Amino acid sequence: MRRPLVAGNWKMYKTAEPAEELARSIVAQVGRDCEVVDVVLCPPFTSLQAVHEALAGTPIALGAQNMHWENEGAFTGEISPAMILTTGCTYVILGHSERRQYFAETDEQVNRKLKAALGAGLSPIVCVGETLQQREAGQIEAVVLGQVQAALQGLSESELLKIALAYEPVWAIGTGRTATPAQAEEVHSLIRTSLHQQYGEGVAGALRIQYGGSVKPENAAELFTQKNIDGGLIGGAALKADSFAAIVKAAC
**Active-site residue, selected from the candidate residues 20, 98, 105, 168:** 168
CB 218 within 8 A of CB 206: no
- Per the annotation, the verdict on 188 as an active-site residue is no
**Rounded Cα distance, 171 and 180, in Å:** 13
Q: 168-196 burial, b if ≥16 CB within 10 A, otherwise e?
A: bbbbbbeeeebbebeebbebbebbbebbe
**Rounded Cα distance, 159 and 162, in Å:** 5
Query: What single-letter amino acid sits at 78?
Result: E
**Active-site residue, selected from the candidate residues 96, 98, 105, 188:** 96
Residue 158, CB-side half-sphere exposure with 13 Å CA sphere: 2
Radius of gyration, CA atoms only, the chain: 17
- Per the annotation, the verdict on 35 as an active-site residue is no
At 175, give phi and psi (nearest 5°). Answer: -100, -15
**Rounded Cα distance, 211 and 230, in Å:** 7
Beta bridge partners of 249: none
**Residues involved in catalysis:** 96, 168
